Amino acid sequence: MDFIKQYIDNNKQRFLDELFGLIRIPSISSEAAHKPDMYKAAEYWKKSMLEAGADKAEVFETEGNPIVYGEKIIDKKLPTVLVYGHMDVMPVDPIELWNNPPFEPVVKDGLILARGADDDKGQSFMHAKAFELLVKTGKLPCNVKFLIEGEEEIGSTHLYQFCKDHKDMLKADVFIVSDTEMIEEDIPAITAGLRGLAYWEIEVTGPNKDLHSGIYGGAVANPINVLCKMIADVQDENGHITIPGFYDDVVIASTRERKLMRKAPYDEKTYKEAIDVKALKGEKGYTTNERTWIRPSFDVCGIYGGYTGEGSKTVLPSKATAKISCRLVPNQDNHKISKLVKKYFEKIAPRYVKVKVTEMHGGMAYLCPIDLPAYKAAERAFNKVYGKEPIPVRSGGSIPIIAGFESILGVKSILMGFGLGSDNIHSPNENYPVNNFYKGIETIANFYLEYAKDAKK
């Protein structure tokens, strides 16, 4: 057994206990009531960094949630790897669908069950432990920095400015991030591309109060009906988004690229069965993977208006609200799209209602060339642990700050994720295989060795 495996084996339970301590803090970034929990999570991370061997660690205040930075500089001439992760998690509703309280982690059937078990507490904490392993065994081959934020799930709002304000401190040769998925438990992947995001809240106001639907129904525009119509009109029967200019900047993937993508394993039957749908629905002319990897999407993430309680209430409501998001693809500027869509909804708003569009968070798409030395090092590390080369894939998900790191700090990120499609991230019963947690630590430790070896050449 090599020293990496040995160290993990000797510390298995403690690693898990420490992760559980982090998970128990309900650090939901989108709910103001959990603000104190963000600070608890930040202090937990600071302590973890120091105990793992960082020279220093600090909790930085922002106008939003705190950011934790830590570092160990062993030799300024050696390359520097920066670990990025996030300590905030998604809300837990609908809470009634959880089989286990979301902030009381347990291991059951080999799975860690909890909100944040995967996204991103489980995945980011592997880095703390891989770092500890190399420090304590005296094998750390390069400088390491940690950047852990508390607003990833709400758009990394204050991290952009933080990066601008701390360019020197965050200087690194490469960023490494574990916040993505493998293809299967034994098929590793490196995510070479991410979609971007734009998000809006659209509020349609009709009458100034809820009206009796008998007295007024038929004579006064119903804001729910109007909102539904506005949403329905955004996509045509082929699944194309009809907003003028929406596709203008999209880089069309080449025929060769699309051919390579089709090599990624995909089984429609399994895919449909896993989510229990009889048929898939997407943009005409594209495969399922293409629809989520290289094409933008338009999804209503939430809608509400009028009477939503038990039973029935006949009412012509005053307001209806939708939370809408678009996933964007390389070269679509999220700010431009955000304004385009806002203006579009304001323009098509009929006279008989008031429409208010609020631009929420967003981010650019990202691409990582697969011949980057750091990418190659990650490839070798995966190969060593899993016995096979990781497949370069793209992800439909967004980690907008990854594009930000590139534009602000000029550094590429390597997305070496250990999550599985069955981890229910963002959903009830989020989980993370405990095996992936340990193998992730092993792979990350190997990455440092491979990356430093490469850098010496």
> Is residue 350 packed enough to be buried (19+ CB in 10 Å), middle (13-18) or exposed (0-12)?
exposed
Distance of closest approach, residue 222 Cβ to its own copies, in angstroms: 5
The reply to whether 185 sits near its own copies by the rule CB under 8 A is no
Nearest to 451 by CA among 141, 105, 219: 141
**Site mask, its own copies, residues 59-98, x = CB under 8 A?**
-------------------------------xx-xx--x-
The DSSP secondary-structure symbol of 253 reads P
Cβ distance to its own copies smaller for residue 122 or 296:
296
Contact segment (CB under 8 A) with its own copies among 7-15, 54-62, 158-166, 284-292 equals 284-292
Instruction: Tell me the CA end-to-end span of the chain in Å, nearest whole number.
Output: 27
Using CB under 8 A, which of 59, 73, 169, 221 touches its own copies?
221
Which element (helix H / strand E) includes 86? strand 80-86
The reply to whether 309 sits near its own copies by the rule CB under 8 A is yes
Cβ distance to its own copies smaller for residue 173 or 210:
210
**Site mask, its own copies, residues 128-167, x = CB under 8 A?**
-------------------------xxx------------
Using CB under 8 A, which of 427, 435, 453, 456 touches its own copies?
427
- Separation of alpha carbons 342 and 347, rounded Å: 9
3-class DSSP assignment, residue 201 = strand
Cβ distance to its own copies smaller for residue 168 or 276:
276
The reply to whether 214 sits near its own copies by the rule CB under 8 A is yes
- Separation of alpha carbons 271 and 280, rounded Å: 9
What radius of gyration do the chain's Cα atoms show?
23
Which element (helix H / strand E) includes 37? helix 35-52
The reply to whether 104 sits near its own copies by the rule CB under 8 A is no
Segment 366 to 405, residues that bind its own copies, using CB under 8 A: 395-398
Cβ distance to its own copies smaller for residue 11 or 297:
297
Using CB under 8 A, which of 280, 346, 348, 388 touches its own copies?
280
Residue tagged 């691409």 (tokens): 367
Residue 344: which residues within 8 A CB-CB, separation 6 or more?
243, 244
> In angstroms, how far apart are the furthest CA atoms of the chain?
81
Binding residues for its own copies, rule CB under 8 A, total 101
- Separation of alpha carbons 25 and 38, rounded Å: 8
The reply to whether 298 sits near its own copies by the rule CB under 8 A is yes
Cβ distance to its own copies smaller for residue 158 or 195:
195
